[in-house]
Chains A and B, each alone.
Chain A
Amino acid sequence: MTTFLLILKKEFRQIFRDPAILRLIFLMPVMQLILLPFAADYEVKNIKVGIIDLDHSDYARQLISKLEHSSYFRLAAYSSDHHEGLEWLESEKADLFIEIPPRFEASLIRENKASLQLFVNAVNGTKGNLGSAYTMGIIQQFNQEIRKDWFEFPKFNPEPFITVIGTSLYNPYMDYQRFMVPGILAVLLTMTGGFLSALNIVKEKELGTIEQLNVTPISKIQFILGKLVPFWLLGFVILTLGLLVSYVVHGIQPGTNIGNIYIFAALYLLAIVGFGLLLSNFTSTQQQAMMVAFFFMLIFILLSGLYTTIESMPPWARKIAYLNPLTYLVDAMRMVLLKGATLRDLWPHIRVISAIGFVLNFLAIYTYRKRS
């Protein structure tokens, strides 16, 4: 027991004596958590819209002004020349343009219908999709309004209307920050837990101190636990800082089930620190360890449901996502922070993360070699 306590003491002394690691642990998560959620936002704003007006009618102008007044759009170009539109897209002067054909107003009044053409630059898929969806919405609205203006409705509407009233639960304003903050916090926890533990052991390899350690009678378990426990504890410090920042800066109240986050994070950190230790067994320089960790980090982040839903991934990617420990943390964080999930709700996740943690740590201990 004395041995183990002295090992822990030594690790903490080294951590607190290294200003770079301290910054990494305390400053980096706070800064990132304050700033990133404002930037990593799905809402597409300031879409540059171009108008080709071949009609110059009153209705055409009404439609244009409606687009102009939407907060999503910015009127970037206007012309009466059909060919210019494509040039706008080409030169990125506009993200999309609407062509109002000649006799738009006339056919709308006389024939009771008219068509518009919408051209979208879909290089950035998200922007293209959302841009065209917003435009459709506005045109639809416009359509409703002029119908009210011009056509007298019969007493009984021949077409029945179905109105859908949507209510957003858990995140009532569909605020992306509320969605992203728990996710980013999960990533930060993974980075510090997984990276720092890996780098720590590999650093001892580089310095040669690990050799000195390997000629002593300490057991594998003591060695691994001595490396695991400090980073596991640091994970809680980062988590607490992160939750404070989300509350103060982003107004996310953790609610009464905050303890569940800690319980889940305890298991998660065990898994991810084990991953770091495993990684260190197969690398011999800090550079290698960084590169490999980075490789896995990208997979962890992209296949975790942080940005995209797992259900819409291709089957092979979904399989990876279900093996990815970050998937469960991201989801659990969101469940607790946004829905106030109970341990019972988290139970399926708890089972999986415990299993992943067990396997990773077992492998880490199994593959650690005191002699070659």
Chain B
Amino acid sequence: MKDRILDTDMSIEAHNLTKKFGDFIAVDSISLQVPRGEIFGFLGANGAGKTTAMRMLTGLLRPTSGSAFVAGYNIATDSEQVKRNIGYMSQKFSLYQDLKVWENIEYYGGLYGMSLRQIKEVTDLMMHKLDMDQERNTLVSQLPLGWKQKLSFSIAIMHRPRIVFLDEPTGGVDPITRRQFWNMIYETAREGITIFVTTHYMDEAEYCGRVAIMVDGRIEALGKTSELKTQFGASSMDEVFYMLARGAKRNE
């Protein structure tokens, strides 16, 4: 297979992507395509393999078999190029608690090779947008969780990646902040950045363009939420999810 797809309007393309840990098949031959600018929801119960799949797509984990292209680059052979073009917000909160807000921004900007001037501009803009001008010099450990998550997200996209991966970004966040968070996601998508987001809040699924539902390492359903509801004869995504997840053997 050629290393780079040139006609790329596809931000993510996966073909039979599989990850085994010994005998355990964490991700079982999944295939999906995400076009540029889409908000793609990746749903599934705990242990369904969402995070593993995402870790393969971000180049943190080597797939056992199958292939995937992210931003047009092969994740197996070109993971450093992939990394230049993506942002990632992990499940674990990943800003440095013992650094101030602006110091975290500066550090991550540095890692993506931004110049000091660029970093300063982005910081000013970000602080203004997040309404955090007063908190520039606050240690991250002292921010409320909702603010931390919004800051995390802003830092994940500060280098203008083509795709941003969000791993359960709204876990433990209050409903109002969640709403604000999703507004930020929409705005980002409008700017042409593809969003790949995992969640297990079904109401959030409704915000996504298309969703994939993972059960026991496999994608059991993929499509627009309205289509899925018709397909399964359900009135809500909750119901769809319940029908699919009921058959799951893995449980945490």
Interfacial residues, chain A to chain B (CB-CB below 8 A): 2-3, 5-7, 9-10, 13-14, 17-18, 207-209, 211-218, 370-372
B98 within 8 A of A: yes
Interfacial residues, chain B to chain A (CB-CB below 8 A): 58-62, 79-80, 83-84, 86, 88, 90, 92-99, 103, 106-116
> Counting chain B CB atoms within 10 Å of each CB, which of A10, A14, A370 scores highest?
A10
Query: Do A218 and B111 touch (CB < 8 A)?
Result: yes
Query: Do A371 and B90 touch (CB < 8 A)?
Result: no
A217-B84 contact, Cβ under 8 Å, with A371-B59, A371-B61: yes
Task: Specify which chain B residues have a CB less than 8 angstroms from the CB of A208 in the assembled complex.
Answer: 90, 92-94
A217-B80 contact, Cβ under 8 Å, with A13-B103, A17-B98: yes
Query: Do B94 and A209 touch (CB < 8 A)?
Result: yes
Query: Do B93 and A213 touch (CB < 8 A)?
Result: no
Task: Specify which chain B residues have a CB less than 8 angstroms from the CB of A14 in the assembled complex.
Answer: 96, 98-99
- The chain B residue with its CB closest to the CB of A210 is B94
A3-B60 contact, Cβ under 8 Å, with A215-B83, A215-B86, A216-B83: no
Q: Which 7 A-B pairs have the closest CB atoms?
A: A6-B110, A208-B92, A212-B94, A215-B88, A216-B111, A10-B107, A217-B83
- The chain B residue with its CB closest to the CB of A3 is B110
A6-B109 contact, Cβ under 8 Å, with A214-B60, A371-B60: yes
Task: Specify which chain B residues have a CB less than 8 angstroms from the CB of A372 in the assembled complex.
Answer: 60-62
Query: Do A7 and B94 touch (CB < 8 A)?
Result: no
Given A7, A9, A13, A212, which contacts B88 in the complex, CB threshold below 8 Å? A212
Query: Do B110 and A7 touch (CB < 8 A)?
Result: yes
Interface of B is mostly: loop
- The chain A residue with its CB closest to the CB of B109 is A6
Apart from the given pairs A9-B107, A213-B111, 12 other A-B contacts in the complex at a CB distance below 8 Å: A2-B110, A3-B113, A5-B110, A6-B111, A10-B110, A212-B108, A214-B60, A216-B108, A216-B112, A217-B80, A217-B83, A371-B60
Given B61, B83, B86, B107, which contacts A6 in the complex, CB threshold below 8 Å? B107
7 A-B residue pairs with CB within 8 Å? A6-B109, A10-B96, A14-B96, A215-B86, A371-B60, A371-B61, A371-B62
Query: Do A13 and B99 touch (CB < 8 A)?
Result: yes
A10-B60 contact, Cβ under 8 Å, with A208-B90, A208-B93, A371-B79: no
Given A3, A9, A207, which contacts B111 in the complex, CB threshold below 8 Å? A3
CA distance A7 to B108 in the complex (A): 9
A2-B94 contact, Cβ under 8 Å, with A211-B60, A213-B111, A214-B60: no
Task: Specify which chain B residues have a CB less than 8 angstroms from the CB of A13 in the assembled complex.
Answer: 98-99, 103
- Min CB distance B63 to A, Å, is 10
- Min CB distance B55 to A, Å, is 8
